[in-house]
Each structure stands twice: as C-alpha cells, then as structure tokens.
Amino acid sequence: MPTDDVLRELHRQMVRARVFEETIQKAYFEGKTPAFDIAAGPIPGEMHLAAGQEPVAAGVCAHLRPSDAVTATHRPHHVALAHGMDMRRLAAEIFGKETGLGRGKGGHMHLFDPETNFGCSGIIAEGMPTAVGAALAFTKQGRDDVAVSFFGEGAANQGAFHESLNLAALWHLPVVFVCEDNTWAISVPKDKATAIPNNADRSAAYGIPGALVTDNDVVGVYEAAGEAIGRARQGGGPSLIEVETDRLLGHFEGDPQVYRSAEVIEGLQARDAIRRFEKRLADNEVLTGEAAAEVRTAAQAEVDEAIEFARSSPYPDAADALDHVFA
Amino acid sequence: MAQITETKRLLTTAKAISEAIAQEMEHDPNVFVMGEDIGAYGGIFGATEGLLDRFGPERIMDTPISETAFIGAAVGAALQGMRPIAELMFVDFFGVCMDQIYNHMAKIHYESGGNLAVPVVLTTAIGGGYGDGAQHSQTLYGTFAHLPGMKVVVPSTPYDAKGLMTSAIRDDNPVLYMFHKGIMGLGWMTPNPRATDHVPEEPYTIPIGKADIKRPGTDVTIVTLSLMVHRALDAADALARDGIEAEVLDLRGLVPLDREAIVESVRRTGRLLVVDEDYRSFGMSGEVITTAIEGAFDYLDAPPARLAYPDVPIPYSRPLEQFCLPNPDTIATAARQIVGR
Amino acid sequence: MRVTVGLVVNPAAARDVRRLTSLARTVDLHERVNIVARVLRGLAAAGVDEVRFMPEPCQVVERAWTSLTGNVPSAGRTPSLRPIPSPGPAVDSQGTVTAAAWLAEAGMPCVVTVGGDGTNRAVALGWPDVVFAPLPAGTNNAFAPPVDPTVVGLAAGLFARDDARHGAHAQVVPYLAVDVDGIPHTRALVDVAVVDGAWAGAHALWEPGLLVEAVVTRTDPTVTGLAGVAGMLDPGGGCRAIRLRFGPGTDVLAPLGPGHLAVLPVSRWEAIAAGEEVVVGGGRMTLAFDGERETVLQPGQRASIRLVDEGPTVIDAAALVRQAASDGLFRQQPGHGPWHGRRPSDDDESEA
C-alpha cells in the first residue's frame, strides 16, 4: 500500500513521462510535413511513444535503485525516465547530438546509461536475455541488485522470451519480467497472436509465479511489482508480472492506425490512466487538482529545458562515425 | 610480451585453449564459462577440458540448449563488469542466436557512444572434412568478419591458440574465437601431427589482429587461416622439393585484418594465392585479394588467385566433400600455376 | 422434458497478485478447460440436455466442447451448448452480474460456477436467489468445497432434473448486504473487510497490518482467507456469522491466503445475528468484498453491513451424490445400455 508521498511521486513520474512524449511528438513532426518524410526534421527515423503506458513504468521503477539493471524496448522513454535517466541526455540522444547518451550513435531505441544501469533494444524480446545476464552477474558479484526486463505482449511469442524465463527459473536468478500488454503488436491484437489469453499463465510453464494486474492501474502495478522485486531481492528468484495497459498513440509516429477504429482510440483516451488517477488522488485528498496542474507545469518546464539543451547541443563531427567500434 | 621459456611440453590445441582459460580464471574472478556440455564433458571439442574439476559449477556452467538466452546473458553479465566466455557449440548454430551476437554483443559499445564495454569471448567450433554434413561443417568466419563490432580470432596452432585466447579474454571487446575441429588434436578425429606442439607453461599473449608468417618464402604468398594453414604447409613442403619456395601467411584472424602483413608479403613475392575453407564468394578470399590489389598492385607479377570452398552447401559423401575442400595437392597445383612452373 | 443448466466460467480467476504474495496456484487456461469438460461430462451423464453459458473472451466453454467432441479416448455425451445472449463477451465482473440476471430471467434450475469467491459473489449480485453448484477455481475458495468437477456436474444435473428429490442437499446460505450512505451498494457471500488505505490497487488482500475489521458469514478453519481466520477463533460455529475487530488482544495464527500464514491480532470477536447492522466509516478506508478490495469510503461516509439469512442456495454436491448413490441411482441392471440418469420412476426394477 503506497504512502501519500509515494502516490504523489507515482503521479509525478507518470506526468513527466507523458509530457515528454507529447513534447517529443511535436518536435518529431517538425520538418516532416506536409508530406511525411521519415528522414527529415530534427528527429529522423522511427519514433515509438509510450503515452498511456506510464503506470507500468512508474509503478515498477518506484521500487528500483540506480544500480538495479533495467532493459526495455523500442518504446523506452517512460521506463528510462522513471528509472532516473537524465532527461537532457535522453533528449540529446533522440536529437542525435554529441551530448546524447550515446553521442548520437544509438538513437531513441538504443539508449544505454551506465549511471542508471539502463539499456534497451529495438529487437523484440532481445532485451530479456540481457536482463537475465545482469541478474546472473549480480549473483556472482554478491550484490542484492535485481534486473527488470520490460517487454510487450507481442514479445511473449518470441523464442527469447521462453529461453529467458526458463534460464532465469533454472538458475533462480533475481530478475523480474514485466509484460506491458497494450493489446497491439503494431497492428495485430493479442488474441490473433497468442494462443492463450494471459501471458501471466506462461510463467507457470517455467515454474515461476506470474501475476496479472488489470486496468492500467499504477497502484496495482506498484503493489505487484513491490512483491516481485522484493521476492527477487531476497533471493526468491524470478517472477513475471503482466500488466494490462493502453497504447494511446500509434505504434510509431505517423502510423495511420488503420487497424483500430476511431471509437477504439477514443475509448482509450476516455480511460486515460493519469486522468483517472488524478481524480482518485483528489477524492482521497492526496493531491488537489491545482497541485496536479502544478506538477504538469513543472514537468513541462523540465521537458522544455531538456529539449532546449538537445536543440542547442552540437551534432557530433561526421568522422566520429568511425569511432567507438572497438574499445 | 611475456618471456617465452624453453619447454618440452607438448599440448594439443584443445589443451592449450583450456589452459589459457584456466590461467586467466585463476587470477581474474570475473571470468566464467557458459555453454552446452562445457562442464563435465569438457566441451564437445575439448576446449574446456578439466575446468569443471578445477573451478566448480559456479564458474563452469552447463547451460540448457538456449543459445539466445545464454549468449544474451553473457552480454548482460559483461555489461555488469564480468568477463564471460560463452561457447556456441558449432558455428553452424549461429542462426538460432545471431541477433544477440551481431545486434547486441557487437553493437552495444558503439551505440553507447563508447560508454559501455562488452568483454565477451564467444568460442565456437568450425570446419569440416570428416563427413559431418552441411549443418555441422562450416567455417563462416567471413560472415562474422563482415559485420562490424566484434573481433574475429582464428588460430591454427597450439601455441597461437593459447596466446590468442589469453588476449581474447583480456580484451575489453567482444571476441569471436573460432577453433577448427581438425586442429584440436582430438583422439577421435583423423590424427593431425600439426595439432600438437610445444606450448609454454606460463601465460602469454599474442596480439589480436597480427598475422604470422608460418613459413617464409620468396616465390608465392599463400594467405590462409586455421586448418588450411596446415594444408598449405604440407603443400609448401611438396613445392620446395620442386624448388618453389612458398611463403605461408597465417592471418590468425580476420578482425582486425592484418592488411599490412598481406601487402608486405605480396610486395616481396609478387604472387598471391588465397586458400579459404569458407564459401568462395563474398568472403575472406575476396577481401584478401582486394587488400593485396589496393596495397601491392604494382608489385604483382600474376593475377591473384584463390582456392576456396565452392558456393555449395557442404556435401556429406566423402568423394563429394573431399572434392570441395582445398588439400595439399590442389594447393600446390594452384601455386605452381601462379608461379608458372 | 428438456433439462437446461446455467454455466458461468470466470476466465480471470486465480491469476492475480496472490501468485506473488502467497503460494496461490495458477489455474491456467488448460486446467480451466479441463474443469469445464469434466463438468459437462457429469451433466451429460445426469441427463442434462442443454447448457446456457456466459460467453467470455477466453472461450473456455467452447474449448471444452471442442476437446470433448474431438477424438477423446473415453467418448461420451456432452449437453448441447448455447451461449446466453449478450452484446459481447463478459470482460469483467459486471459481465458476470449481467449474465446471472439473464439466467435468473430464464428460470435456470441451477448454475454451475467455475471461479473463486469473487465469481460467486458476482453471480449472486446478478441473481440474489440463485441456486449454485460452485467449483473451486479461484485463489480463495471458501465458498466452494473441493469436489471433483465431474461429480459437481453430476450433482447439478441430478438436481436440475429433479429438484424436489434432491433439494434436501441444497442449503440456503446467508449473505452480507452492504449499504453506503443508506444506499444499497453490494453484497458479499463470504466476508466484508475494512482495510486501511484508500486504494483498491491490486485488489487482493494480503497485508495483515492493513486489516481494521471484518464481518464473515462463515467460520471454517479448513479454508484460506478471512473465513479461515474466523474459523481459527470459532471452529465449531459452522456457518455462524462473526464480526472481528483487529488490534492488540488475541494473536491468531491463520491462513490469510494459500500458504500465507499470518499472525493476526484480534481485539474482539462476536457472533452476528441476522438483521444486525455493523456500521463502519469515519476515516478514509477501503472496503473489501470476498477478499478483493473494491470500494473506497471517504471521511464522512458510512457503510452498514447487515447479515441476511436468506441468500442464494448452494448445492452440496458431495452430500447429494452420496444420497443418490445410496438410493441406487447409479446402479443399473446389466444389459440396460448406457446409463443416462434415469429417474427412479424410469427404473424397471429397483436395486437388487
């Protein structure tokens, strides 16, 4: 059961992530109109935004320290920010600048931050073995850090998911697998891709507990993640949490979303988890509406400053492209 | 470079590799080994023999048949400061786990702008000639060398194998260490006298990316790798009886490629024959020839030639497989053709 | 005479956070399908012609039917299956409530439920006078004793064919009516707990320190959950309702969840009579019904919890089948062909 301070922090992390995604979205489309040219503008390439999925990141990362390892996916910003990544270096990397986390070499899907032990991958499910390896290292190094692997419901049909759960279970590793079930693997819904209704059940096939958290509820995530992470930290081994969440935007920015109707999208907006959470916070007198608005204002200021840092940072020298292949 | 003392110790390549690993594990607690059958079995090709008894199951870890998971775990553990050695039993199996190898192990250092090191050694058995068929006989060093971000080490002798393994473990980069089954000195393979040789007992390193002239010569440079070094040396012995002195240049790996050594040798001999057990097209032989042309064009007395595995899946039946493989006779014949005698 | 029975399967039961907080089993899809398949076999053997079932997204009932009508070693009959009409599959407990209301309207003689205490609660909300044959497929199953689904199907089928004869083995159970600020809010079949904090969160109750008080309709030391806690205090009570207040007093060791034994400080407990009202409220708190946190009370709100004697009816499958066996219903003369639940009046001869 989270304290009021924790509840307010959960809210703040969700709002920060949302404001970041909204602001990046605007910046992404600069230069790409009128005819969408994916290569144009200050942020070229693909952009996968996590608006709607903030409860998963906030609820899980609230239990983590910077030394806990986190791996995430092609849709990583909410997780990265909730785990404490420096927003300016994140923004600068997205803008491809020299001051970015990877000196502009990684981009938005390949973020690596030694300070928060964070990494992500654009290949579906392939961040899971990395998390297993981190957990393996922790047992050898005698640390009580844990590894958390975020992945989507689509990834649960990839071989790496099954291999990772089996190996983590076999070696009893301190890793928590968090499945963000937003229903859609690009355009294919879960019930057209997964043979069983819940990935929480699959963990039983590997002998580890799996729990389902419904309704994109940050407090439900917080409680379940607290149990799973605590269990791992105390040597109780791996577990899996499946969270029903919502992807409010398209798979990528520019996605015409022909596969889901306007009604469906409106329905998602209507059950926006941040708005619902704010209402309950107000009802419970934990955070008034005014205070919530102030959180948003502060978040926008932080995001604007980070984006400004990114815009004003220099690009790397072109010839730097040849550096850092080998240490 | 460590002092090399005289020794009468004869080790097989397999034993040299496991000795290198053991010596590094003695002084560096971050080194550990993962793979299928690398524990009690000692590795299917003997690369980890004796290690389980010496270091125990915590550091010599048999894995399930889950290459994506355990090679990915090696990457993950390396990112946390460990120095894992992971064995991919046959290089031919890379298909099931290539993403972790080329998209993760090889790229994370670069994607992080140099902030993260991935000190993984990925060992693997390569090569054929003993009837193991299309899925268990490939060398594939060209495939891996083509992809940026991982070093590719391919020893041919016990002495080189130990020094290169020590260097690979100490290297902060991902290193793919490819050992040919035919050079390991295994009792259940066709005996190969060149698979056993003197190996110093103390640890020593051989720099990765440096070729080695295994046999100096003047008339033609034979550039090659791995088991084909042995074949080329046998061919050179035959050529010598006809007064042709072939220089055998053992690349000892492909990434980094010792282009200077290739160019320097070809400038001296003026003739180049590449012997390659990997598929002919789009690989090592083309790269070596192009390197020679780029650096030694004016010195060439004859067009460079290559004797490479044909672009066919490796056949099983003995006459078919032996037809495809370069051997001392075909190497000598090709050399004579270039030399014109 | 065509005999029809209702079937409500909760696809989501036994999957929540209690997998992490306790040793709760997972009832995966395969197991759920298996349970339903066994029920259908039992129903068929008892002579039930048709089953009206609640459609849900995992299609457990459909899958069970497929597995029975495919190549199965022990071929047998299955009743015909018809979904109840609904705008779409039931995706939450409200769907279950609506389905139960439809089954009530359709006059089903009984409803087989596959879920936990929460599932049965939702059915009773939709159909207050429902006749249940519950199966334990949830985390806490205080309501449903562990009887093999095959036998539950058999019992439900026998009851549906002849409720006059078998009615002796169906008992009316009490429930708790909950009003909030004077307005009827919900019902609970097993317990209402008052919990510190103002969040439903992950719903399940597993932190003993958060419990403030509870009203429990049954005391049974053999089950997990609050009914088990009450049972540890008053094992002889049977179905006697009890009000517990938590605080320094007597320490009770009880299974709060599967494998989760906790020491709970109980400051008071007393029997509750029908009609007696327990009022809670004052601060900010959460009410949990049948083991799931659900309703937040704000300061100034009041909830009243009242024991009502006449609630739904529960078929005691074990007792019913025992009686039927001793009456010879399952014995037949050799050569009479496949038994299909003939009524005693259909028998050519009585038991030999």
Q: How confident is the model at residue C201 (pLDDT cuts 50, 70, 90)?
A: confident
Q: What is the pLDDT of residues B156-170, one digit of tens each?
A: 999 999 999 999 999
Bridge partners for A242 per DSSP: A179, A212
* Residue of A99, A124, A126, A163 to mutate, interface with B, max B Cβ within 10 Å: A163
Q: How far is A219 from chain C (nearest CA, A)?
A: 5
Task: Please give the residue that has the higher pLDDT: either C308 or C29.
Answer: C308
Contact B69 A167 (CB under 8 A): yes
pLDDT at C345: 42
Contact A130 B151 (CB under 8 A): no
Task: Please give the residue that has the higher pLDDT: either C57 or A49.
Answer: A49
CA distance A302 to A309: 11
Do B158 and A311 touch, CB atoms closer than 8 A? no
CA distance A267 to C292: 26
Hunting for tokens 């991982």 — which residue is that?
A: B150
Give mean pLDDT in consecutive 10-residue pieces for chain B, a chain of 341 residues: 64 98 98 97 96 98 97 98 98 97 98 98 97 96 98 98 98 98 95 96 98 98 98 98 98 98 98 98 98 98 98 95 97 97 85
CA distance A156 to A214: 18
CA distance C113 to C11: 11
Q: C11 to chain A: which residues are within 8 Å by CB?
A: 197
Tokens of A320: 């730097």
Mean pLDDT of A70-75: 98
Find how far residue C239's CA is from the centre of its chain. 15
Q: How confident is the model at residue C348 (pLDDT cuts 50, 70, 90)?
A: very low
ipTM associated with this complex: 0.92
Catalytic choice (B104, B136, B180, B230): B136
pLDDT at C93: 87
The residues near C68 (Cβ < 8 Å, ≥ 6 apart) are C37, C40, C41, C76, C78
pLDDT at C200: 85
pLDDT at C67: 81
- Residue A325 pLDDT > 80: yes
Pairing of strands C175-180, C302-308: antiparallel
Q: What is the pLDDT of residues B15-38, one digit of tens each?
A: 999 999 999 999 999 999 999 999
Q: How far is B52 from chain A (nearest CA, A)?
A: 17
Is B136 an active-site residue?
yes
Q: What is the pLDDT of residues C273-321, one digit of tens each?
A: 988 999 999 889 999 999 889 999 999 999 999 999 999 999 999 999 9
CA distance A90 to A106: 11
Q: A114 to chain B: which residues are within 8 Å by CB?
A: 112, 115-116
Bridge partners for C257 per DSSP: C260
- Whether A159 and chain B come into contact, CB under 8 Å, resolves to yes
Q: How far is CA B189 from CA B181, B183, B184, in A?
A: 8, 10, 9
Contact A220 C200 (CB under 8 A): yes
A with B: how many residue pairs have Cβ under 8 Å apart? Answer: 143
- Residue C347 pLDDT > 60: no
CA distance C112 to B282: 68
Do C27 and C58 touch, CB atoms closer than 8 A? no
Contact A222 C210 (CB under 8 A): no
A with C: how many residue pairs have Cβ under 8 Å apart? Answer: 88
Q: How far is CA C130 from CA B112, C90, C118, C124, in A?
A: 63, 19, 15, 6
Q: What is the pLDDT of residues C30-55, one digit of tens each?
A: 889 999 999 999 999 999 999 999 99
Closest-CA residue to A240 (of A134, A150, A144)? A150
Interface of B with A (CB under 8 A): 32, 58, 63-64, 66, 68-82, 84, 96, 99-100, 103-104, 107-117, 148-149, 151, 172-173
Closest-CA residue to C133 (of C115, C3, C41, C78)? C115
| SS3 state of residue B294 | helix
Question: Which subunits have 3 or more CB–CB pairs within 8 Å of chain C?
Answer: A
Task: Report CA Rg, chain B.
Answer: 19
Mean pLDDT of A175-191: 95
What is the percentage of chain C residues whose pLDDT exceeds 90?
57
Contact A1 C200 (CB under 8 A): no
Which of C299-304's residues contact partners 24+ apart within 8 Å by CB, and which partners?
A: C301/C180, C301/C181, C302/C180, C302/C181, C303/C178, C303/C179, C303/C180, C303/C181, C303/C185, C303/C279, C304/C178, C304/C179, C304/C277, C304/C278, C304/C279, C304/C280
Do A125 and A158 touch, CB atoms closer than 8 A? yes
> What integer best gives the mean pLDDT of chain B?
96
Hunting for tokens 């084909």 — which residue is that?
A: B228
pLDDT at C344: 42
- Residue A34 pLDDT > 50: yes
The residues near C348 (Cβ < 8 Å, ≥ 6 apart) are C333, C336
Q: How far is A161 from chain B (nearest CA, A)?
A: 9
What φ, ψ does residue B83 adopt, rounded to 5°? -130, 75
Contact C26 A210 (CB under 8 A): yes
Task: Please give the residue that has the higher pLDDT: either A4 or C282.
Answer: A4
CA distance C279 to C301: 10
Do C68 and C77 touch, CB atoms closer than 8 A? no
CA distance A56 to A34: 35
pLDDT at C69: 77
Question: Which subunits have 3 or more CB–CB pairs within 8 Å of chain B?
Answer: A
- Residue C74 pLDDT > 60: no
pLDDT at C19: 79
Burial A5-20, CB ≥16 within 10 A → b, else e: ebbbebbbbbbbbbbb
